[in-house]
Amino acid sequence: MKVLVTGGGGFLGRAIVEQLVERGDDVSIIARGDYPELRALGAMTFRGDLADAKACAGAVEGQDAVIHTAAKAGVWGTYDDYVASNVKATENVVEACKLMGVNKLVFTSSPSVTFDGSDAEGSSNDLPYPERFLAYYPETKAQAEALALAANDESLKVTALRPHLIWGPRDPHLIPRVVDAARQGRLKIVGEGKNRVDLTYVDNAAVAHVQALDRLEDSDGPAGKAYFISDDAPVVLWDWINSLLKELDVPPITKHVSPKAAYTAGSMLEFVHRTFGLKSEPRMTRFVAQQLATSHWYDMGPAKRDFGYSPVMQPDEGFKRLVEWLSTRA
C-alpha cells in the first residue's frame, strides 16, 4: 500500500520507513529536513511543516495510510511551539486524511500522557490522563492523542501507540545524553534506585506500528484505542544504566539524591530559566525528577491480543548492538 510516514527522518520514523520499504510498500515521508538516504531506499520525500495545512494535505494526497510519528519531544520549550508541532499538526493530519479519503491512521503517542507522578506497575491501556501535567510535551501529546482517537469512525480507522523510552543504535537523544551526563559526573540516582521501567528497542517500536496498521480494519483490531508498547521485559532502571556504562568503561553512578530534593531542584531551575528567558534545557525539571524516581512498566497483553504485537529484537541482542554503536561514537 501507499503509506506516508510523518517525521520519517527521525529515530523511530526512519525505522518504520525501512520496515515498510523492505516488505514492498510504496513509502513517502514528510519532514522539515532533507533525507537523501531515505530517497536512496526508494522513499519519496516531502519537505514541509505539518502545522501548515496546505503542506500536510499535499503529502497526504494519494496515500492509503498515514503513520504520524512527527512531534516536538523533550521537556523544555514554549507552549506555543509544542501546540503547533503536536496538536495543530495532528489536527491537520486528521483533517487531511478525511479530505483525501485515507482510511488508516496510526498515531505515535507516549506513555507520558498518563503519567501523574506515581508508579505504574503492569498497568493496562485504561490509565486516565492526569488532572495536571508538569511539562508541555505530555500535555500536548495527550491533547493530540485524544483528538486523533476522537476522529476514529467508519471512514478513518485510527489507533494510538505509546512506545516507552525508545532505544537502540542511531538514538539522537535519550541514551547518548545519559552517557554523556555520566561521563561528566552530572548524573545521580534519584531515590533508592530500585524503580523498574519499560524500554522499547527501536525496531520493536517500529514493528508495532506496522502490525497495528495491518490490523486497523479488522472488527476486533486496534481502531479507536491506545496501546502501551515496550520490549515486554522491564528493567531496574539504574542497574541497566550502570550495566551500559560498564560496557563503555564509564564509572558507575553511585551517588543518590532524594526524589524531593530532585523535584525541588527542578522547580527552581525551571523558575530561573523562565524568569531569564534561557533557551537551554534545565539540568533538572519536575517532570524528569518524577520520571527518574518512579516505576513505569505496562501490560503488553492488549497489543498482543488486538494486533498481534510481537517484538522482533530481544533485549540482550539489542543491548549488544547499542554498545557497539555507542563505542563508535566515543
What is residue 279's predicted lDDT score, i.e. its pLDDT?
87
- Residue 139's Cβ-side half-sphere holds a number of Cα atoms within 13 Å equal to 17
Is the pLDDT score of 298 beyond 70? Answer: yes
What is residue 173's predicted lDDT score, i.e. its pLDDT?
86
- Residue 97's Cβ-side half-sphere holds a number of Cα atoms within 13 Å equal to 31
Which of 87, 100, 101, 208 lies closest to 148 in space, CA to CA? Answer: 87
What secondary structure letter does DSSP report for 196?
Answer: E
What is residue 243's predicted lDDT score, i.e. its pLDDT?
98
Q: Where are the beta strands (DSSP E) in 69-190?
A: 104-108, 120-123, 157-163, 166-167, 189-190
Grid cell locating 51: 502545522
Could you read off the pLDDT of 178-217 as tens digits, one per residue?
999 999 999 999 999 999 999 999 999 999 999 999 999 9
CA pair distance 274, 272, nearest whole angstrom: 6
Contact predicate 48/92, CB 8 Å: no
What is residue 329's predicted lDDT score, i.e. its pLDDT?
79
Could you read off the pLDDT of 50-75 as tens digits, one per residue?
999 999 999 999 999 999 999 999 99
**Helix, strand, or coil (residue 106):** strand
What is residue 107's predicted lDDT score, i.e. its pLDDT?
98
Is the pLDDT score of 177 beyond 80? Answer: yes
Q: What's the rounded mean pLDDT across residues 241-246? A: 97
Q: What's the rounded mean pLDDT across residues 284-289? A: 95
What is residue 133's predicted lDDT score, i.e. its pLDDT?
96
Contact predicate 262/292, CB 8 Å: yes
The helix (H) or strand (E) run that includes residue 256 is strand 256-257
Q: Is 137 a catalytic residue?
A: yes
Please name the residues in contact with 330: beta carbons below 8 A apart, sequence gap of 6 or more. Answer: 248
Contact predicate 243/178, CB 8 Å: no
What is residue 221's predicted lDDT score, i.e. its pLDDT?
95
3-state helix, strand, coil in the chain (%, to 5): 45, 15, 40
CA pair distance 54, 48, nearest whole angstrom: 9
Is the pLDDT score of 78 beyond 80? Answer: yes
What is residue 248's predicted lDDT score, i.e. its pLDDT?
96
Contact predicate 199/165, CB 8 Å: yes
Confidence of residue 330 (pLDDT cuts 50, 70, 90): low
- Write the CATH number of the domain with boundaries 2-167+198-230+297-312: 3.40.50.720
**Which neighbouring-strand residues pair with 28?**
4, 44
pTM of the model: 0.96
Is the pLDDT score of 233 beyond 70? Answer: yes
Pick the catalytic residue: 137, 201, 298, 309? 137
Q: What percent of the chain has pLDDT over 70?
A: 100
Confidence of residue 300 (pLDDT cuts 50, 70, 90): very high
DSSP per residue, 29-60? EEESS--HHHHHHT-EEEE--TTSHHHHHHHH
